Chain A
Amino acid sequence: MARKTHTATAVAIGLGIALAATGCAGGGSAGGSGGGASGGKVTLTVWENATPGPGAEYWRQAAKEYHALHPNVTIKIQLVQNEDFDGKLQTALNSNSAPDIFMQRGGGKMQAMVDAGQIQPLDLTATDRANAGAAALAGNSIDGKVYAMPTDTQPEGVYYSKDLFKKAGIASTPTSMDALEADVAKLKAINVAPIAVGAKDAWPAAHWYFNLALRECSRDTMQQTAKSLKFTDPCWTKAGEDLASFLKTSPFQKGFLTTSSQQGAGSSAGMLANHRAAMELMGNWDPGVIASLTPNQKPLPDLGWFPFPAVPGGQGDPTAIMGGGGGYSLSKNAPKEAFGFLEFLVTKGQQEAYAKDFYTIPVNKDAQAVVTDSYNISALQAFNKAAYTMQFLDTEYGQNAGNAMNTAVVNLMAGKGTAADIVKDTNAAAAKG
């Protein structure tokens, strides 16, 4: 008996290791074996994370249209569930069965792929550059080379319920942290949670710290830190102190530590969808998530957006915007036809369709006329006005430092850590990575 359970121990640990080491078993379909072959018939595989629905339909349609223009190129779209995506991709890349084209999350993950020689730099034409826009391309570059074709911009800001703001007597959206705190008090008076945050997932809570750091730290500091991974500038601690003092006003819903961000009516997005909370700090995927959680599963009609408020005395530009913006990368063996499809994705017509199907803001400026939702218009205006954009910090500074930073922010919000601990823990994590 003892021996048997001992074996069970080994099995459990062994499987755990196997899963941890390789990600989930990757069922990569064959592709990319062409090794740069061109001419003749080519079949390309594309991995992306759209959920079934309009997003998935967009990809099928794009593949069909591209095939009509280039009959020798057949494109196979494969939907991979978001949470499974990274593990599967990692396995596929390591075992040389990578898809030709795949969704790229950018930041430290992209850096790791570049270091391992697993993806190709993109040789963009002037037209491609004009289509994608300089800002979005900059976000997908490493040492001056572009490694992913961007498709949309993800300016982060505060999504809010216009109805609840009106009910609480808030005339205009807050532009400073002081104004935000005053609005928090007004919203409490009408018995709704002022701000929802899904701290169980850590990153939604950490984004409050990211945005405060964006306001406290200068652009130079943030960029240099990405190289050195040493969080020595006092602005990093100041951002944590700002968060601690904001927390004193109890702006978040009760029990926010065990609230997840996107699953079900009790999640932070669900609270906004059901008018139980007035605000949520999120990226541009939020309206779609909220729409799926409203009682009738339709977009929330009174959803608005405003940029993260200014912090008095901060070194960062008050118009700067935090935002992701991944794109699509080519694996190292992808044939050159694959690049043609990436170029096709940022053309005006494709960008318009993409923006409609994903409720998002396209990178191609000519296609931005299709943006009509009021929250997207606000976000687009702020984005076009922004002095600069900064990638989400847990992406910008790599998974390792990012994960430590996210955990430390949750600790602070749970009352178990200080602003100084965020800096200390993040610095310590660099030693492990």
Chain B
Amino acid sequence: MRLEIAVMSGPAILMFLAFVIFPVALAAYYGFYRWHGYGPPTDWTGLNNYRLILTDPAFQQVLEHNALILVLSLVIQGPVAIVLALLLNQKIRGRSLIRVLIFVPYIISEVIVGTGWSLILQRGGAFNDLLQHIGLGSLQADWLADSKLALWTLMALISWKYIGFAVILMLAGLQSIPDELFEAAQLDGASYWQIQRRITLPLLGPTIRIWAFLSIIGSLQLFDLVYIIWGQYVSGTAGTSTMAIYMVSQGRDAGNYGYGSAVAVVMFLISLVVALLYQRFVLRRDLRGAVTEGAAR
């Protein structure tokens, strides 16, 4: 029995150690050095990298961006996804088609989405042309580079891309609510809004909380879309840079691998703390019973 466990889970555990635990430990180790990546690190600087990170105004700036993206993602995507899911949960014509259309952006790779939208939204791009042709020429703008607009452009793209995923989750959640509850409420004379407010939303709670968790973690680690559309340099001036962008630009692009590793560790710790707090305070009820503790039934 023990042998079986070892044989079956061994390879997975080895992979996990090699590609997750080892790199994390390695980054923690490199983070204590001033190291340019050639030869083994020798210049031990203790916590100096961490001191520099926490005092770098650029890091505070990317933290703010991450926080803003996190909040806006929850505030924009959540309600829209719930409303869409409620609509799509009814028997309407072309329901499958609409579901597919909403879900498609989620499955297209970030590289394609990023390249496509950056061509459309650039100064001389299709979107500004469209505005011109439909008589809204005065609304033309530099959607990507103007720092007053860029973050909102990013939020629009993130919402467009990820809302399909939220809708699918919510739909699944809706389907798990027993029909009898709605029937009973209808027999008791509850209105449509009463049903949604008193039955659907509370029972959809676990799904919403899980979606919010995924959204939060995704927001903290946002990298590819920003990197592809803005690149690590312009994202700073456009106000769309994130912690992950900072890590790459300070680590790989500046050749400061020790410093970049320290940034990675900081990102890891922030994500970890957020994840633990969320699990402790928000998901506690949802997880009760799902996680086995000893012999408890």
Query: Shortest distance in angstroms between A177's beta carbon and chain B's nearest beta carbon?
Result: 25
- Say yes or no: A202-B257 contact (C-beta < 8 A), given A5-B214, A116-B39: no
A5 to B38, CA, bound (A): 34
- B23 touching A94, Cβ below 8 Å: no
Question: A9 near B275 (CB under 8 angstroms)?
Answer: yes
How far does the Cβ of A77 sit from chain B's closest Cβ, in whole Å? Answer: 24
Is B182 part of the contact surface with A, judged by Cβ < 8 Å?
no
Question: Considering the chains assembled together, what is the distance between the CA atoms of A257 and B119 in angstroms?
Answer: 13
Is B78's beta carbon under 8 Å from chain A? no
Residue in chain B with minimal CB distance to A87: B252
Q: A11-B19, A15-B23, A258-B122 are in contact. Are A410 and B255 (CB under 8 A)?
A: no
Interface mask (A1-37 → B, CB under 8 Å = 1, otherwise 0): 1110111111111111110110100000000000000
CB-based contact A90/B26 at 8 Å: no
Asked whether, in the complex, the Cβ of A433 is within 8 Å of the Cβ of B36, the reply is yes
Residue A69 at the B interface, CB < 8 A? no
Bound-complex Cα distance A112 to B38 (A): 6
Q: Are A94 and B39 in contact (CB under 8 A)?
A: yes
A109 and B256: CB pair below 8 A? no
On whether the beta carbons of B254 and A20 are closer than 8 Å, the reply is: no
**Smallest beta-carbon distance A367→chain B, Å:** 33
Q: Find chain A residues with CB under 8 A from B213 CB.
A: 1-2, 5
Residues of chain B within 8 A (CB-CB) of A116 are: 38-39
Which residue of chain A lies nearest to B52 when distances are taken between CB atoms in the complex? A432
Interface hit among A42-50, A321-329, A399-407? A399-407
Name the interface residues of A70-117: CB closer than 8 Å to any CB of B: 87, 90, 93-94, 108-109, 112-113, 115-117
Interface SS, B side: helix
Decide if B52 touches A431 in the complex (CB within 8 Å): yes
CB of A254 within 8 A of chain B? Answer: yes
Contact: A258 with B230, CB < 8 Å?
yes
- Decide if B234 touches A410 in the complex (CB within 8 Å): yes
Is the C-beta of B32 less than 8 angstroms from some C-beta in chain A? no
In angstroms, Cα B52 to Cα A404, docked, is: 15
B37 CB contact (under 8 Å) in A15, A112, A404? A112
Specify which of A17, A109, A411, A416 is in contact with B24 (CB 8 Å cutoff): A17
Q: How far is the CA of A52 from the CA of B14 in the complex (A)?
A: 39
B247 within 8 A of A: yes
- Please provide the chain A residues from 169 to 228 with a CB less than 8 Å away from any CB of chain B in the complex: 199-202
- Inter-chain CA distance A255–B127, complex, in Å, is 14
* Residue of A87, A117, A416 contacting most chain B CB atoms (<10 Å): A416
Q: Give B142 Cβ to nearest chain A Cβ, in Å.
A: 6
Closest to A9 in B: B271
Checking A7, A16, A90, A266 against B247 with a beta-carbon cut-off of 8 angstroms, the contacting residue is A16
Q: Is the Cβ of B256 less than 8 Å from the Cβ of A433?
A: yes
Cβ distance A251 to chain B, nearest Cβ, rounded Å:
16
Closest-CB distance, A402 to chain B (whole angstroms): 8
Of B2-10, B100-108, B160-168, B260-268, which stretch is located at the interface?
A: B260-268
Q: Does B99 contact A (CB under 8 A)?
A: no
- B245-293, CB < 8 A from A: 247-257, 259-261, 264, 267-268, 271-272, 275, 278-279, 283, 287, 291
Asked whether A10 lies within 8 Å of B123 as measured between CB atoms, the reply is: no
Contact A5 B217 (CB under 8 A): yes
Query: How many contacts A-B (CB < 8 Å)?
Result: 185
Specify which chain B residues have a CB less than 8 angstroms from the CB of A406 in the assembled complex: 233
Q: Are A16 and B30 in contact (CB under 8 A)?
A: no
- For residue B145, CB closer than 8 A to chain A, the reply is yes
Question: Whole-angstrom distance from the CB of A104 to the nearest CB of chain B?
Answer: 13
Is A118 positioned at the interface, with any CB of B under 8 Å from its CB? Answer: yes
The yes or no answer to B210 lying at the interface (CB within 8 A) is: yes
Number of A residues whose C-beta is below 8 Å from B?
Answer: 58
Q: Does A414 contact B (CB under 8 A)?
A: yes
Q: Give the residues from 114 to 149 in chain B that come closer than 8 angstroms, CB to CB, to chain A.
A: 118-119, 122-124, 142, 144-145, 147
Residues B212-260 near A (CB distance < 8 A): 213-214, 217, 221, 229-231, 233-234, 236-238, 244, 247-257, 259-260
In the bound complex, how far is the Cα of B257 from the Cα of A117, in angstroms?
A: 18
Whether a CB of chain A sits under 8 angstroms from the CB of B27 is yes
Residues of A within 8 A of B260 (CB): 20-21
Complex CA–CA separation, A12 to B264 (angstroms): 10
Indicate if A429 sits at the interface (CB-CB under 8 A).
yes
**Contact call B264/A16, Cβ cutoff below 8 A:** yes
Residues in A neighbouring B278, C-beta threshold 8 A? 2
> Does A309 sit within 8 A of B, measured CB to CB?
no
State the CA gap A404–B256 with chains docked (Å): 12
- B237 engages A411 (CB within 8 Å): yes
**Residues of B close to A410: CB separation below 8 A:** 233-234, 236-237
A18 and B23 form a contact (CB under 8 A):
yes
Binary interface encoding of chain B residues 11-31 relative to chain A, with 1 for a CB under 8 A from any of its CBs, else 0 = 000000001111110110010
B45 shortest CB reach to chain A, Å: 10
- Interface membership of B34, Cβ < 8 A: yes
Hey, which chain A residues are within 8 Å of B20, CB to CB?
7, 10-11, 14
Does B24 contact A433, Cβ atoms closer than 8 Å?
no
Chain A 255-296 residues near chain B, CB threshold 8 A: 255, 257-260, 266
* B254→A432 contact, CB < 8 A: yes
Does chain B have a CB within 8 A of A150? no
Cα of A202 to Cα of B255 in the assembled complex, Å: 16
On whether the beta carbons of B38 and A115 are closer than 8 Å, the reply is yes
Closest residue to A407 on the B side, CB-wise?
B233
Bound-state CA distance A207–B65 (Å) is 29
Given A10-B268, A13-B24: 5 more A-B contacts, CB < 8 Å = A5-B275, A6-B279, A266-B124, A414-B237, A431-B52
Residues of B whose CB lies within 8 Å of any CB of A are 19-24, 26-27, 30, 34, 36-40, 49, 52, 118-119, 122-124, 142, 144-145, 147, 210, 213-214, 217, 221, 229-231, 233-234, 236-238, 244, 247-257, 259-261, 264, 267-268, 271-272, 275, 278-279, 283, 287, 291
The 5 A-B residue pairs whose C-beta atoms are closest, nearest first, are A255-B123, A116-B39, A399-B255, A414-B237, A17-B27
